[in-house]
Amino acid sequence: MTFSSLGDPWNGGRLEFKAMYMKKLPLPQFKGEVQDEITAIVKEIESGKTGAQAEDKLNELIYKLYDLTDEEIKIVEGRT
């Protein structure tokens, strides 16, 4: 995914998100076990007591929520 950079891109720049574009972002509804599992993984990651496995599991859950194909996952992960 590419965003335009504002400011000085050689020094980090900054991003500007506009609400009119973000409103179109589809957010999946999830409840119950999935919500509990995502919450537990996020808390684990925030605690700093976890490795890449927790992040990978979180990514898998999110990919399933959005019903992404293998090709779409490659794009998201920058493996195109």
Apex 25 CA angle, 43 and 64, nearest 5: 55
pLDDT in tens, 42-56: 998 888 877 788 989
In a domain, 23, yes or no: yes
Q: Which domain holds residue 36?
A: 9-76
In a domain, 4, yes or no: no
In a domain, 1, yes or no: no
In a domain, 3, yes or no: no
In a domain, 67, yes or no: yes
Q: What's the number of domains the chain is made of?
A: 1
End-to-end CA distance of the chain: 11
In a domain, 2, yes or no: no
| φ, ψ dihedrals at 6, nearest 5° | -110, 150
pLDDT in tens, 26-43: 777 777 888 899 899 999
Q: What does pLDDT average to over the chain?
A: 79
In a domain, 70, yes or no: yes
- What is the DSSP track for 13-56? -B----HHHHTT-------THHHHHHHHHHHHHHHT---HHHHH
In a domain, 57, yes or no: yes
